[in-house]
Amino acid sequence: MRKLGFDGPGPVRSLPLARGRGNRSALLCCRLLPPPSSSIPCCPIGGRIAPRRFQHLVMDSGFVDVPLPMDKISLSSVQESTGRIGCPERNQMFVVLLSAGSFNPPTYMHLRLFELAKDALEAQGYVVIGGYISPANDAYRKKDLLPSIHRVHLCELACRTSSFVMVDPWEAKQNSYQRTLTVLSRIQSSLCHSGLIRKESLKVMLLCGSDLLESFATPGVWMLDQVRTICQDFGIVCIRREGKDIEKIISTNEILQENKNNIFSVDEIVPNQISSTRVRDCIRRGLSVKYLTPDEVIDYIKDQKLYLNEIKNLGSLMG
C-alpha cells in the first residue's frame, strides 16, 4: 500500500471499445447478472428496447448512450500545467475519481471523501481534475434501495456546491446491473475520446471507504479478475472508515497485496460515522437529518416523501 506515488498507468481497457481480458469479463458479467428487479415500462428505440423514463439511445454494444458530464472537469489545471490541452510537460498525472455506491441517500460524508482524496493526492503531486458519483443501477439488489431516478437526482442536488464532483448517471440508466470495472472503463474512454486529455496523462481511480475495500474479499461479490484489473490498471484511493484496519485488509488479500503500490490509504482527520443507513434510520424515526446531508437533499426527500415507511413527523426533518 502507498501513502501515494505513481507507477504509471497500465494498459487501457476501455468500454464499449472492448479490448482485453478485463472488458470481456465485464461484458460477460452484464449478461450473466439477473434483470432489474423493478418492472419499468419500455418503448422501442432503434429496434431495441429502452426504459421509457430514460429514453436514451441504445448503442450496438447494448449500452444505453448517456454522455459523461464534463462541465466541472478542471481544464484550467490541465492547461496551466501543460501549456497545451492534454500535453503535459513534466509527466504530470491528472486524476479523475469515481465513487460507486448506492447513495441512498447521499450524505456529506460522500462529498468529504472527494475532498480528502483530492488533498492527499495533490500533496503527492497529482492533479485531481474531476470526480464522479455513480449511483448503482436499480438491479443492485440492496435492502431499501430507492429507485435510481431519485438517487441520481439526490446526488445531483448534493453535488451542487462542489467545484469538481459531478454525477455520472450512466450506470443508473443502463438496463441491467453494471459492475464497477465497467463504470471505470467507460469514464476513462469517454474522457480520452473527448480530446480534453491524453490517455497517458489520465488516471481514473476508484474512491471508496474501507468497507468497500474489505468487500473485495467477500466470496461471490466481486469477480477476482476484475478486482485485479481495478487495482492494476486504475488504482484505488481508500478512506479509512470507522477504525477499519486498511493495512490488514490489504495484507490479508493476495490481489490487494500484489497491487499495494496502487492503493492509497487516506485517514479522515475529522472522523465521523455518517452513513446513509443512519440517515435513513433518522428519517424513519422522525429525527432531524440537518447537517448530515445538504438542505437541498433534505427538501427533496421531504417533498417526495422518501424513506418514510415509518415516519410520523415530516416537519422535524429540517431540525
Ligand X SMILES: O=C(O)c1ccc[n+]([C@@H]2O[C@H](COP(=O)([O-])O)[C@@H](O)[C@H]2O)c1
Interface residue list for ligand X (CB under 6 A)? 100-102, 136, 140, 142, 179-181, 212, 221-223, 226
- Rule CB under 6 A: is residue 208 a binding residue for ligand ATP? yes
- Rule CB under 6 A: is residue 239 a binding residue for ligand ATP? yes
Based on CB atoms, which residue is closest to ligand ATP, 223 or 274? 274
**Which range in 57-65, 158-166, 275-283, 302-310 contacts ligand ATP by CB under 6 A?**
275-283
Report what 230 binds from ligand ATP, ligand X, none; CB cut-off 5-8 Å by kind: none
Report what 180 binds from ligand X, ligand ATP, none; CB cut-off 5-8 Å by kind: ligand X
Residue 145 CB, shortest distance to ligand X, in Å, is: 8
Based on CB atoms, which residue is closest to ligand X, 28 or 85? 28
Residue 298 CB, shortest distance to ligand ATP, in Å, is: 16
Based on CB atoms, which residue is closest to ligand X, 209 or 294? 209
Site string for ligand ATP, 209-228 (x = CB under 6 A): x-xx----------------
- Distance CA(65)–CA(41), nearest Å, equals 18
Report what 58 binds from ligand X, ligand ATP, none; CB cut-off 5-8 Å by kind: none
Member of 275, 286, 288, 311 binding ligand ATP (CB under 6 A): 275
Report what 275 binds from ligand ATP, ligand X, none; CB cut-off 5-8 Å by kind: ligand ATP
Based on CB atoms, which residue is closest to ligand X, 41 or 219? 219
Cα 25 to its chain centre, rounded Å, is 19
Member of 25, 82, 104, 189 binding ligand ATP (CB under 6 A): 104
- Distance CA(9)–CA(173), nearest Å, equals 29
Q: CA of 11: how far to CAs of 14, 172, 261, in Å?
A: 9, 27, 16
- Rule CB under 6 A: is residue 118 a binding residue for ligand ATP? no
Residue 301 CB, shortest distance to ligand ATP, in Å, is: 14
Residue 215 CB, shortest distance to ligand ATP, in Å, is: 9
DSSP string, the chain: -BSS----------SSS--HHHHHHHHHHHHHSPPPSS---EEEETTEEEETTT--PBPTTS-B--PPP-TT--HHHHHHHHSSTT--SS---EEEEEEEE--SS--HHHHHHHHHHHHHHHHTT-EEEEEEEEEPPTTS--TTPPPHHHHHHHHHHHHTT-SSEEE--HHHHSSS---HHHHHHHHHHHHHHHTSS-GGGEEEEEEEEHHHHHHTTSTTTS-HHHHHHIIIII-EEEE--TT--HHHHHHT-HHHHHTGGGEEEE--SS-----HHHHHHHHHTT---BTTB-HHHHHHHHHHTTT-TT---GGGGG-
Residue 85 CB, shortest distance to ligand ATP, in Å, is: 31
- Interface with ligand ATP by CB under 6 A: which residues? 99, 101-104, 109-110, 113, 208-209, 211-212, 239, 241, 274-277
